């Protein structure tokens, strides 16, 4: 299961709403204790997709590498990646699956008419053929 602390959560929601009507993306940092992941820091990253950003996001590998370094510097791990779905539900799309990595949690935030609506977290499999919903806890 994944749990997101208040400060990180507020930052993720604000980033998703500020970026609307485009998709936002970012990194989630924290500690992993067995099956429990606790996210205490969120880092906003640039959507580097060269095209319609209402429907897609792309992370620069170097941005992700830097987030990973920042996690280690703070004695934490890079737990996952978040992105938003403007005017769309928080599901895991085919594109999301294609761009996924099995060792991260993927949080999707649904933003409707500019306001946060709901969110889900997903765990993609190694074959990138399916992603199961992860037990997910976040402040309201
Ligand atoms: Zn998506």
Distance 92 CA to ligand 1 centre (A): 6
Q: What element of type H or E holds 65?
A: helix 61-73
User: What does the pLDDT look like over 6-54, one tens digit per residue?
Assistant: 999 999 999 999 999 999 999 999 999 998 999 999 999 999 999 999 9
Would the CA dihedral through 34, 4, 59, 132 be positive or negative?
A: positive
From edge to edge, which strands make up the β-sheet containing 77-86? Answer: 131-134, 115-124, 105-112, 77-86, 25-33, 36-45, 2-4, 136-137
Distance 50 CA to ligand 1 centre (A): 16
20 secondary structure, DSSP code: T
pTM assigned to the model: 0.97
Residues paired with 105 in a beta bridge: 80
Distance 10 CA to ligand 1 centre (A): 20
């Amino acid at each position: 299961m994944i749990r997101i602390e208040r400060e990180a959560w507020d930052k993720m929601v604000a980033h998703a709403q500020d970026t609307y009507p485009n998709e936002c993306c970012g990194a989630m940092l924290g500690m992993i204790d067995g099956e429990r992941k606790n996210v205490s820091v969120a880092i906003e990253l640039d959507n580097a997709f060269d095209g319609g950003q209402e429907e897609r996001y792309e992370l620069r590998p170097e941005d992700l590498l830097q987030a990973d370094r920042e996690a280690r510097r703070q004695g934490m791990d890079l737990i996952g990646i978040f992105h938003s779905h403007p005017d769309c539900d928080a599901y895991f799309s085919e594109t999301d699956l294609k761009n996924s990595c099995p060792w991260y949690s993927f949080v999707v935030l649904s933003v409707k008419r500019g306001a946060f609506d709901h969110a889900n977290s997903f765990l993609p499999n190694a074959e990138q053929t399916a992603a199961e919903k992860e037990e997910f806890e976040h402040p309201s």
